[in-house]
Amino acid sequence: MSQTVLLHFSGQDHPGLTTALTGILADFDACILDVGQAVVHETLALGLLIELPVGAEFAPLKTALETRSESLGLRVRFTPISAEALSHWLSLQGKDRFILTVLGRSVTAAQLSAVTGVIAAQGLNIDRIERLSGRLSLAVHTPHANACVEIQASGAPRSQDEMKAGLLEVAQRFPIDVAFQRESIFRRNRRLFAFDMDSTLIQGEVIDELAKLAGVADQVVKITESAMRGEIEFQESFRRRVGLLKGLPEARVRELLGKIPLTEGAEQLICTLKTLGYKTAILSGGFTFFAHHLQQRFGIDYVYANELEMANGAVTGEVTGAIVDGARKAEALREIAERENISLEQVIAVGDGANDLPMLKLAGMGIAFRAKPLVRASASHSLTHLGLDSLLYLIGVRDRDTEKLACFQPVEVP
């Protein structure tokens, strides 16, 4: 019978180690069934599951590996694998795999212990842990620093609802977010990002800023609060608020284009997505004049928003065309996916309000970003503590990857 052995090497990392060790294995015609290598703080951990040819003796190979490991400054362990253990390992080939992404300004031992505790309670096995963010020391204060650890786990969770609830409790206990995705071909091949605009891509609500300019801010707030209590349907409340803007000079409206700041990380995210070839869309209950401003600045592919009517140099108090509400956002998302010939599983939608929920639920990955509590609880994913650029971690992009990109240069729009 052939022999199967697990080899584990550890020690100070330096170039040439893997070549030297696999060279010895080659001399003995060993077949590599599995391999895993990690380097943490310049310390190597290398595992090789090998199978020797039928009739081959393991003792000469063991001696050669021990001698070479000593000369390389490595420690080596040998673990014989039984036929039963090998058969069990092979039977796990098709097991479900999940990706958990832990995001915060820093990731502490207490936070990682709590997250991995939820994983263990569900009977999942952790196969890999990797840092996606750049190197960070707490001793050096870096404003808006990102810290991200990606965990790959496998198995069948006892209850995905219980697991989601457990991860949500951890995220509420610590200043972190935890995203939980099933590993699939779609997860690795997202093609479209769709964003709400107000309080998502930008830090504020355009209609509220217009109301301030028109001197009707208090009245608009009352209508908004009434709509949030369910006393007024969204489209009716929207028309009432727009009606209060009647007579506002167009020149004052245009003033807002340079005054409402982008959300932290928005520019880095969109520039990176464009460089990587993703399609992008703004699906907004706000106004086209601001959405088109962002479209021109960043090269956004699609815009669906409300047309604020103007005549004789002033706002008329009306909107032209159908109002973009929650249902229209979801419909637009489906239209774009069909036009681009992509599956909805390949779509990521991002928003903060209740009217974003239809598109968040339709997309393969719906993310509530700095959202209201109801939206966070209803969406499949929630991000609160970092900027929009942290979404890149959810598609597996590392900081060291983005540092090398020739990012899209935004055009300054007057």
With a CB cutoff of 8 Å and minimum separation 6, the contacts of 276 are 397, 405
2 has pLDDT over 90: no
Residue 273 shares a structural domain with residue 376: yes
Please give the model's pTM, rounded to 2 decimal places.
0.83
Q: Report pLDDT for 402.
A: 82
Cα 296 from chain centre: 25
Distance CA 155, CA 153 (A): 7
Model confidence pLDDT, tens digit, residues 11-26: 999 999 999 999 999 9
Distance CA 156, CA 93 (A): 13
* Alpha-carbon distances of 399 from 115, 359, 390, rounded to whole Å: 22, 28, 10
Its domain, for residue 289, covers 192-403
Whether 105 is in a domain gets the answer yes
Model confidence pLDDT, tens digit, residues 166-186: 998 999 999 999 999 988 888
Contact 385, 146 (CB under 8 A): no
- CA nearest 9: which of 81, 85, 72? 72
Residue 217 shares a structural domain with residue 360: yes
Confidence bin at 375 (pLDDT 50/70/90): confident
187 has pLDDT over 60: yes
Averaged pLDDT of the chain: 90
Confidence bin at 30 (pLDDT 50/70/90): very high
Confidence bin at 137 (pLDDT 50/70/90): low
* Total of domains in the chain: 3
Q: Report pLDDT for 372.
A: 82
Distance CA 152, CA 209 (A): 44
278 has pLDDT over 90: yes
Confidence bin at 409 (pLDDT 50/70/90): very low
Residue 220 shares a structural domain with residue 295: yes
Residue 322 shares a structural domain with residue 230: yes
Residue 103 shares a structural domain with residue 86: no
Whether 411 is in a domain gets the answer no
Cα Rg, the chain, nearest whole Å: 27
Please name the amino acid found at residue 76.
V
Q: Higher pLDDT residue, 64 or 372?
A: 64
413 has pLDDT over 90: no
Residue 78 shares a structural domain with residue 115: no
Return contacts of 216-222, CB within 8 angstroms, 24+ apart.
216/244, 216/245, 219/244, 220/244
Across 224-245, average pLDDT: 84
Confidence bin at 404 (pLDDT 50/70/90): confident
Whether 262 is in a domain gets the answer yes
Whether 410 is in a domain gets the answer no
Which of 149, 182, 215 is a domain's end point?
182
Residue 267 shares a structural domain with residue 127: no
Model confidence pLDDT, tens digit, residues 283-333: 999 999 999 999 999 999 999 999 999 999 999 999 998 899 999 999 999
With a CB cutoff of 8 Å and minimum separation 6, the contacts of 184 are 345
Q: Report pLDDT for 354.
A: 87
Q: Report pLDDT for 411.
A: 39
DSSP state of 105: S
Model confidence pLDDT, tens digit, residues 331-346: 999 999 999 999 999 9
Whether 414 is in a domain gets the answer no
Q: Write down the catalytic residue from 13, 177, 198, 389.
A: 198
Which of 30, 62, 92 is a domain's end point?
92
Q: Report pLDDT for 407.
A: 58
- Beta strands, E only, 272-356: 279-287, 302-311, 314-320, 347-351
Whether 408 is in a domain gets the answer no
Across 372-380, average pLDDT: 85
Angle at 23 between CA 20 and CA 28, to 5 degrees: 140
Model confidence pLDDT, tens digit, residues 388-399: 999 999 999 988
Residue 102 shares a structural domain with residue 118: yes
Q: Report pLDDT for 373.
A: 83
Across 133-157, average pLDDT: 78
3-state secondary structure at position 376: helix
148 has pLDDT over 70: yes
Across 348-372, average pLDDT: 93
410 has pLDDT over 50: no
Residue 244's CATH number: 3.40.50.1000
Whether 187 is in a domain gets the answer no
141 has pLDDT over 70: no
Q: Higher pLDDT residue, 119 or 1?
A: 119
Residue 79's CATH number: 3.30.70.260
Residue 347 shares a structural domain with residue 366: yes
Which of 38, 64, 92 is a domain's end point?
92
Strand-pair category, 74-80 with 365-369: unpaired
Q: Higher pLDDT residue, 106 or 280?
A: 280
Residue 342 shares a structural domain with residue 398: yes
Across 27-50, average pLDDT: 92
Across 361-371, average pLDDT: 94
Distance CA 157, CA 122 (A): 5
Q: Write down the catalytic residue from 177, 196, 352, 356.
A: 196
Across 260-270, average pLDDT: 94
Q: Report pLDDT for 230.
A: 64
Does the annotation mark 196 as catalytic? yes
Whether 27 is in a domain gets the answer yes
Residue 146 shares a structural domain with residue 202: no
Percent of the chain with pLDDT over 70: 94
Q: Report pLDDT for 1.
A: 52
Model confidence pLDDT, tens digit, residues 72-112: 999 999 999 998 888 878 877 778 899 999 999 988 999 99
Residue 131 shares a structural domain with residue 198: no
